Structure 1
Amino acid sequence: MDAVQGTLDEFGTPLSDVTFVVFDLETTGGSPADHAITEIGAVKVRAGEVLGEFSTLVDPGGPIPPFISVLTGITDAMVVAAPRIEAVLPSFLEFIHGTTLVAHNAGFDTRFVKAACAAHGYPPPANPVVDTVDLARRVLTRDETPNSKLATLARFFRSPAEPCHRALQDARATVHVLHGLIERAGSFQVHTLEELKSFVRAPTPEQQRKRHLAESVPHSPGVYLFEDERGEVLYIGKSTNLRNRVRSYFTASETRPRIREMIGIAERVRHIVCATALEAEVRELRLIGGAKPRYNRRSRFPEKVVWLKLTQEPFPRLSIVRELKDDGAAYLGPFGSSRAAEDARVALHEAVPLRQCTQPISLRTRRSACVLHEMGRCGAPCEGKEAPADYAVHAANARRAMTDDASLVFAAVTARMERLSVEQRYEEASVDRDRLAAFVRAAARMQRLSAITRIPQLVAASPAFDGGWDIHVVRYGRLAAAGVMPRGAHPTPFVESLVAMAEAVIPGPGPVHAASAEETECILRWLESPGVRLVEVDGVWSLPAHGAARHKARIDLAYRPLTRPGSREGRPLS
């Protein structure tokens, strides 16, 4: 047999022959859809030698947020004479041509570059990409570095360039980090670019060692829980096929750093088999809300949501509260933060002249009115200048806007935005836009939730994969029972049996009273999916004819950053 000599291509490209461009961007925010590049810095290196540098400020086409200026030191005055991204992009693409790109948290920087290319008619760069964050997590232990931040790694590898949130300086620091990481990777027999890329994606030793944890998990829909040696829940997930999903955590396809870290701690996988995919999704939400696993990014904290309440008193006011009470008050929410609730409150105050003071006011109260009365924003019931009957009209309008018809608020705030835009006060108009969006989206969400949480019992069915039917019993917006009716079975006795075994649900105060808003929204998504049929509805399931949903559709369609006319960022909502 004749021996065949391999080619160099079969062995890959030695790292000493690879030309890297280590780059960094500074931007006005975290999303390329809403923010822009303010600075590009890049260093071209090969075999440890610097071949060239690229650095420029970029005019983002709009104001730089103050907190970004504080972080980076880049101000509006610095970029006013800088080139726009369309002038910079061709030079940068030429600089990186034929190279391997390197960045720290590369996904962030490459998203902005790809967005800029798409916006100006350039194909996205096809360069190989190396992320020093991922590489650091493979070759360094927690004992060596507590985290993978650039500043931490620069100190560890004794980089002479100290990161300072300026693009070129950070790129220079990343060069030294890259060289240190490549040297470490050599001990893992990583000597070519191809080996480097596969090394980052390969399963960790912990993933390979713990593949047996998936062996006892069945091929069924349900919920899985990763637990440590003490039984603490680390991560909760759901799947229509538990075995396949859990197995995927121990393969090269699982590259999320926090999940790989979790696998290193996990000692067992517990599972809960569910009858249907909807039951699995609901159980996952409930378990995450109760256990709050540290590796679930979307761990629920239902106790932290807030509501906007129209109080029950002679002269009602809008109050931000954390507790729902059965007191006849009108509520709007839930909001994920007090800031969002405050935005909605300000939007409502723009339309309805409710008092904004927090002191109790009775029919006998007499004290000096505040400046809002002088501005025409309050009738001064505290001075006795507004009768309870007249004030009750404002309260009724506020209640109607919160629960039935958001038109009053929408019209008032959009009118103010139009005035501000005419006066070229675009930043103020942008603030009003955000407040209106907070109010309308919260009202639309609450009205949608309230429609189903008012129903004592709803039974619905959807086709199952095997020809049967997934049947669910929903009580006051909470999933009370789930089952799969076999193909050919008579529906009446099956449904009656499922209803009889369903969880008893006692309604509570407020629009969302028997389950979390996330659970009820999960049920609503299923009810609105193709093929679902209503079997039984105890009551009326309907939305307000003039509800906030129609305004939400307009906001979602026209929601753009408000800037000067003719700029690249968009137009005002009008």
Structure 2
Amino acid sequence: MVMLVEIGVQGTLDELGTPLDQVTFVVFDLETTGGSSAEHAITEIGAVKVRGGEVLGEFATLVDPGRAIPPFITVLTGITDAMVMAAPRIEQVLPAFLEFARGTTLVAHNAPFDVGFIKANCQAHGYPPPANPVVDTADLARRVLTRDEVPNCKLSTLARVFRSTTEPCHRALADAKATVDVLHALIERVGAYGVQTLEELKGFVRAPSPEQKRKRHLAASIPSTPGVYVFEDERGEALYVGKSGDLRQRVKSYFTASETRPRIREMIGIAERVRPIVCATGLEAEVRELRLIGATKPRYNRRSRFPEKVVWLKLTDEPFPRLSIVREVKADQGTYLGPFSSARGAEDARAALHEALPLRQCTERITTRTHRPACVLAEMGRCGAPCEGRQGVDDYRRHADAARAAMEHDPGPVFSALEERMRRLAAEQRYEEAAVDRDRLAVYVRTAARMQRLTSLTGIPEMIAASPAFDGGWEIHVVRHGRLAAAGVMPRGAHPTPYVDALVATAETVTPGPGPLPAAIAEETECILRWLDTPGVRLVRVEGTWSLPARGAARLKPRIDRAYDGVQSHYPRVENRPHR
């Protein structure tokens, strides 16, 4: 008889993993001429090699990108064409960096950006792409830090929270040193979760949390249809609202490792139920999601929570109109541009208009009987001084009409005026002032293009359109003044007239209000416009005319977008100024 005896065998160190204090990290950062590795080039590489908290070496060099550095990149990084003129090209720098990083674990903040540039240059110059393990400190921070601890996971924010000895300043070596401090702080944090090795660190990034595992049952009764889902707490308060073409699959994904957002994992810990709202079509689900978020203001949604807080730029209704920033659209003869998400964006657009048009900038109401000393703008030729009686109503009306046309129809004169000023400032190497004008012009043109596109639909009393459904039928929608009034699905082979007539008869009655958005928030009308642009959509009936101004802002928007091409992925932009 043969007896089998199971003998326990102690695992080897390789099986247990590499302790984090024995891992050699190369923490690196790149500066570039833009955000796309296919179209832009590296201008600087900075890297720090560390192991067990000890710095083993540094790598830093400027790189000649072989092209001019855009002025707005110079403003952000401080790297000029003159600085890189004598620097080595990337084909000389790349082998040295790859050798410096050989056999290590690469670390970067927003690693896909930096690693993407390295891989693209390896491919371009005949080197195999680095096979090093990669740790993304931005991704790691999103998994271990809550919204209460940090408002965002930008490098500058984390460096401040973790009291880095180096302040990030958009220079490669300084940012790499700050990332080293952030990495060490995050490794301390994950140690509390029992993460001690590189393998455990990589597994931690991919693993669902205990709360996600425990609450998977919340997705059990969700139907596989288009609609909206609402995560609710024990009191029935909405915590988070989302939408999907397949509710069941989308809700299930919240309880898997693919859901890594810290605030959402926190929300799952509080949630007690998920309420599904079945919709007829994907567009209806998208619109209902926006309306529910605006109505319930769930604390874990970030977008569209306060649609009522938008602001407008108004050309006032008075004898001598002026540009005023307002929060309410009234039924008057004023001209409105917007909506803007912040007053700062509206101020940028107003500054762009003031640069091109000599409108008065004082806030007092002026009549033909007003007589008071003019301000310095009159002496500079920037205002005709109607307050002093130098300019009459008819003479001033020319400027007000030009402003009205620039806001509603043709932004060309404003674009030309600011473009000429930017050229002059750039020639004088006053790049930061030119960047300010560029951002003001971008806000103005993009907002004008958006409003013209919105009003092309909101001015139509009723539009009926249809798109092919997956089963061969048709999804039909009734839109009134830019608001979704009804949605339904017509089965395959059915005659359309009865379905369309029934849908129109039961559609919501929409009474338009004043202004460019008379019946719906901008996001809802934009959802409808995106759907109308999708392939296969057919117009069934249109009451009125659907058109855009021939010389509208849409013709200028591509030039604005090219000025920011690729930059925003690495340098996220607020309404008036780009930041990394």
Separation (CA, whole Å) in 2 of partners of 1:552 and 1:137: 34
Question: Is 1:115 equivalent to 2:130 in the alignment?
Answer: no
DSSP-derived class of the 1:427 partner: helix
Separation (CA, whole Å) in 2 of partners of 1:167 and 1:425: 26
* Equivalent of residue 56 in structure 2, options 52, 64, 81: 52
Question: Is 1:21 equivalent to 2:25 in the alignment?
Answer: yes
CA-CA distance at 1:353 after TM superposition = 1.2
The alpha-carbon distance between structure 1 residues 151 and 295, as it changes in their structure 2 partners (threshold 3 A), is same
8 Å contact from structure 2 (residues 411, 445) kept in 1: yes
The alpha-carbon distance between structure 1 residues 527 and 52, as it changes in their structure 2 partners (threshold 3 A), is same
Amino acid in structure 2 at the alignment position of 1:229: E
Q: Which moved more, 1:108-117 or 1:497-506?
A: 108-117
CA shift digits 1:449-477 (9 cap, x unpaired) = 11110111111000101011000000100
CA-CA distance at 1:429 after TM superposition = 2.4
DSSP-derived class of the 1:505 partner: coil
- How does 1:51-450 map onto structure 2 within 5 Å? 52-54=56-58, 56=60, 86=90, 90-102=95-107, 106=109, 108-109=110-111, 111-115=113-117, 118=120, 121=124, 125-131=130-136, 165=168, 166-167=174-175, 170=178, 173-174=181-182, 176-177=184-185, 180=188, 184=192, 187=194, 193-450=198-455
8 Å contact from structure 1 (residues 114, 124) kept in 2: no
Separation (CA, whole Å) in 2 of partners of 1:338 and 1:152: 28
Amino acid in structure 2 at the alignment position of 1:112: D
CA-CA distance at 1:328 after TM superposition = 1.5
8 Å contact from structure 1 (residues 23, 167) kept in 2: no
Separation (CA, whole Å) in 1 of partners of 2:419 and 2:377: 21
DSSP-derived class of the 1:382 partner: helix
Q: Which has the higher contact order (CA 8 A, sep 6+)?
A: 2
The alpha-carbon distance between structure 1 residues 180 and 334, as it changes in their structure 2 partners (threshold 3 A), is closer
The alpha-carbon distance between structure 1 residues 50 and 376, as it changes in their structure 2 partners (threshold 3 A), is closer
CA shift digits 1:119-148 (9 cap, x unpaired) = 685676432123467667878999999999
Separation (CA, whole Å) in 1 of partners of 2:53 and 2:406: 66
Amino acid in structure 2 at the alignment position of 1:442: T
Separation (CA, whole Å) in 2 of partners of 1:82 and 1:288: 55
DSSP-derived class of the 2:285 partner: helix
Separation (CA, whole Å) in 2 of partners of 1:241 and 1:429: 48
**Root-mean-square deviation over aligned CA pairs:** 4.0
CA-CA distance at 1:236 after TM superposition = 1.2
Give 2:49's aligned residue. 43
The alpha-carbon distance between structure 1 residues 501 and 183, as it changes in their structure 2 partners (threshold 3 A), is closer
DSSP-derived class of the 2:280 partner: coil
Separation (CA, whole Å) in 2 of partners of 1:458 and 1:175: 55
Q: Please, what TM-score do these two structures have when normalized by structure 2?
A: 0.82
Separation (CA, whole Å) in 2 of partners of 1:118 and 1:57: 19
Separation (CA, whole Å) in 1 of partners of 2:70 and 2:471: 56
Amino acid in structure 1 at the alignment position of 2:238: V
* Equivalent of residue 11 in structure 1, options 15, 21, 24: 15
8 Å contact from structure 1 (residues 18, 193) kept in 2: no
8 Å contact from structure 1 (residues 57, 82) kept in 2: no
Identity of aligned residues (%): 61
The alpha-carbon distance between structure 1 residues 29 and 286, as it changes in their structure 2 partners (threshold 3 A), is farther
Amino acid in structure 2 at the alignment position of 1:353: P
CA-CA distance at 1:557 after TM superposition = 3.0
Separation (CA, whole Å) in 1 of partners of 2:495 and 2:43: 63
Where does the alignment leave 5 or more consecutive residues of structure 1 unmatched? Answer: 156-160, 563-574
Separation (CA, whole Å) in 1 of partners of 2:144 and 2:564: 44
8 Å contact from structure 1 (residues 41, 171) kept in 2: no
Separation (CA, whole Å) in 2 of partners of 1:57 and 1:379: 54
Q: Which moved more, 1:501-510 or 1:423-432?
A: 423-432
Amino acid in structure 1 at the alignment position of 2:449: A
8 Å contact from structure 2 (residues 462, 479) kept in 1: yes
Give 2:570's aligned residue. none
DSSP-derived class of the 1:326 partner: coil
CA-CA distance at 1:262 after TM superposition = 1.7
Separation (CA, whole Å) in 2 of partners of 1:130 and 1:302: 38
Separation (CA, whole Å) in 2 of partners of 1:147 and 1:465: 39
Number of aligned residue pairs: give it.
543
Separation (CA, whole Å) in 1 of partners of 2:55 and 2:425: 51
Give 2:576's aligned residue. none
Q: Please, what TM-score do these two structures have when normalized by structure 1?
A: 0.82
8 Å contact from structure 2 (residues 106, 134) kept in 1: yes
Where does the alignment leave 5 or more consecutive residues of structure 2 unmatched? Answer: 169-173, 568-580
Separation (CA, whole Å) in 1 of partners of 2:10 and 2:47: 40
* Equivalent of residue 542 in structure 2, options 537, 551, 555: 537
